[in-house]
Amino acid sequence: MCYQILFRNNSPIPPEDVSRAVSDFGDSYAQTVQKIIRNTDCPDLDKALFLKNCAILLTNFKMTRAGPFKGIRVDDSKAKVLDRKNKLEDAWNRIGKDLVSLKAFLSRADLKPRSRTLLLLDEASKEDVVGELWSIFKKLLPITMSSNSYGLVGASKIFFSLFPEVALPIDNAEWKTAFKTVDFGDVIYLVADEINEWEKITREPLDNGDKNGPTTLPAVYNVMAMSARA
């Protein structure tokens, strides 16, 4: 397979170049992702955490300036998520129970370090997790889509805000050019395969590319995916 994110001309990007890309990407992204990872480093998922993390990530990724999530923000002074269109409320009502179930599954697995969950899952468990991600993803699309978007970008970012250890936030360019599919499950499998191949050749854990942490494999991979667009 020809990998495009962690490889150039079929050769792995050197680990030091990955570390440099992560370091250079910007404090705003790093701080937001670290906050997302810390907030979700707990055994349970509830509505309050869902609303908070979704709002934090969607705002940072500039998804709240227009489209279905326009106007969503976190009011720190009142510790409250402002969502006048109730988009996140609707999303929780649609997929909340499924998200809680998936979180419970990952919590029971209790894989350490959490940053490497995507590769530590055994094949049967990975199949269950990826299958559930794709099933819930499809249920979420009617909420995230708009008149000029299929909703893939927004849905993927919501999933990353809740499951940063196994999900990837994917922008339009990546859907179209890097992955060339609308199947979120296929993307997660491809990400896991590419990371595994890169680590096998370089003999270096990809999550070591982020020296400041906390991080996850998808978080580091995402930096490289966004860098590849340039």
- 59 with 74: CB under 8 angstroms? yes
pLDDT at position 2 over 90: no
Q: pLDDT tens digit string along 161-209? A: 999 999 999 998 889 888 989 999 999 999 999 999 999 999 999 999 9
Query: What confidence score (pLDDT) does residue 230 get?
Result: 56
Average pLDDT over residues 53-60: 94
Query: What confidence score (pLDDT) does residue 77 get?
Result: 64
DSSP category for residue 14: P
Handedness of CA 134, 137, 142, 148 (dihedral sign): negative
Query: What confidence score (pLDDT) does residue 229 get?
Result: 64
Helices (H), the chain: 15-24, 27-39, 47-60, 87-109, 117-120, 123-144, 152-162, 172-173, 184-202, 217-228
Q: Lowest mean pLDDT of 22-26, 158-162, 220-224, name the range.
A: 22-26
Integer angstrom CA distances of residue 1 from 4, 9, 224: 10, 12, 18
Q: pLDDT tens digit string along 70-128? A: 999 988 765 789 998 999 999 999 999 999 999 999 999 999 999 999 999 999 999 99
- 93 with 169: CB under 8 angstroms? no
> Which residues make Cβ contacts (< 8 Å) with residue 107, sequence separation at least 6?
43, 44
Query: What confidence score (pLDDT) does residue 1 get?
Result: 66
- 9 versus 219: which is more confidently predicted? 219
Amino acid at the residue 151: G
Comparing C-alpha atoms, which of 69, 66, 99, 73 is closest to residue 87? 69
